[in-house]
Amino acid sequence: MKPRIGINLDVDQSKTTHYKVNRAYVAAILQAGGTPVIIPPCNNTQMRAYVKEIDAMLLIGGRDYSPERYGKVADASVTALHPEREEFDFRLGAYILTRTDLPVLGICGGMQWLNIFYGGSLHVDIEAAFPGLGLSHRTVQHIPAADHPVLTEAGSGLRKIYRRKVIPSVVSSHHESLDRLGRDIVVEGVAPDGIIEAIAHRLRPFTIGVQWHPEQHFSNNKRLFKAFIKAAAQRSR
């Protein structure tokens, strides 16, 4: 049986409430050899039942977690997640990280969530925190796909996965960045301007976060997803 990978969902509300996920996340898991398992917001009994059926967890990106969760104040740059998603992300993530040994891959907001959960903080807005930084980290209307290289840390798990000192180009779309690191969180990669782009938990097996969107360019990031699926497969035996 192929490893089953949990994927959390975004929540969008207009006239009605929608649960949704970018197809690229699902496609990346399928291409890497896993079986996606969509996990919607639900009660604790249902949540535990879902978690029993998966071999790893993918935490997706999205809008912004409340800065109040890490001791800061929201400004005009913050676009809040739907409260239902934020509440469930923290409940689901906390259960997985404290009650299981499931491999975890956090992408963009998922990486930021990992750092927040372990007591870290974010810069609420990169441009406000680092005026004139120069390097673009955010996809905007006139830049359809912001991209930049990532420098992997010597001896890091990320360097072992990618087998290179520099990942030449990643798809970037974020206005927040990591500030204070959470407990036992270590830096695995940085942008040329010093912005943290990848982290890992130094004690927990395969708990990795990347600030970029590897699912948007699978061929360039196949090694990351293959390593994630391999970790899930080893656990499921």
The DSSP result for 19-85, as a single string, is EE--HHHHHHHHHHT-EEEEE-S--HHHHHHHHHT-SEEEEP--SBPPGGGGT----TT--BPPHHH
* Number of residues written out for the chain: 237
Please give the structure tokens belonging to residue 181: 């690191």
The backbone region for 19, taken as left when phi is positive above 0, alpha when psi lies in -120 to 50, beta otherwise, is beta
4-236 architecture in CATH? Answer: 3-Layer(aba) Sandwich (3.40)
CB 198 within 8 A of CB 189: yes
DSSP 227: H
Helices of type H across the chain:
23-32, 44-52, 83-99, 109-117, 126-129, 157-162, 218-236
Instruction: With 0.85 as the threshold, say if the pTM is over it.
Output: yes
Structure-token pair, residue 222 = 């196949």
**How high is the pLDDT of residue 141?**
45
Of the candidates 204, 206, 194, 177, the residue with the CA atom closest to the CA atom of residue 133: 194
Q: Which of 215, 217, 220 is nearest to 5 (CA)?
A: 215
Q: List 122's β-bridge partners, or say none.
A: 178
Task: List, for the chain, all residue ranges whose pLDDT scores fall below the cut of 50.
Answer: 139-142
Predicted local confidence at residue 126, as pLDDT: 83
**For position 159, what pLDDT does the model report?**
98
- Please state, in angstroms and rounded to a whole number, the distance separating the CA atoms of residues 48 and 208: 22
Whole-number pLDDT of residue 64: 95
Q: 128-170, pLDDT tens digit by residue? A: 766 666 555 554 444 555 789 999 999 999 999 999 999 999 9
- Per-domain boundaries in the chain: 4-236
C-alpha distances in Å from residue 206, one per residue of 199, 227, 232: 11, 9, 9
